[in-house]
Structure 1
Amino acid sequence: MSKSVRSAEPAGVDAPRLVLGEQPFDVAATALRLLTTGPEPLSMDGAALGGGLPRRRIVLSELASILMHPSCGHITSDQVWRLLIERARADGPAWVVGAVGVALPGLRQAAYRLRRYSGDVQAELLTGFVAALRTVNPAGARVVQRLLSTAFTAARTELRASEPRREADYLDSTALWPGAGHPDVVLARAVTAGVITLADAELIGATRLGGTPVASYAESLGKGAKAIYQARGRAERLLVAAVNAGLLSDPDEQVIAEATMTLRADF
Structure 2
Amino acid sequence: MDLQTLLAPFSFGFMQNAFLISIIVSVPTALLSCFLVMKGWALMGDAVSHAVLPGIVLAYIFGLPLLLGAFAAGMTCAIATGYLSTNSRVKEDTVMGVVFSGMFGVGIVLYVSVETNAHLDHILFGNMLGVDGQELWTAGLISAVVAIMLVLKWKDLLLHSFDPAQAQASGLSVTALHYGLLAALSLTIVATLSAAGLILAIGLLIAPGAIAFLLVRSFATMLWVSVLVCMAAMLLGTYASFFLDSAPAPTIVLILSAIFVVAFVRRQVQTRRASLKRIGQR
Answer yes or no: same fold by TM over 0.5. Answer: no
- Identify, as 1 or 2, the structure richer in strand: 1
Normalising to structure 2: TM-score of the pair? 0.28
**Which structure would you say has the larger RCO, counting Cα contacts within 8 Å and 6 or more residues apart?**
2
- Decide which structure has the larger Cα Rg and report it: 1
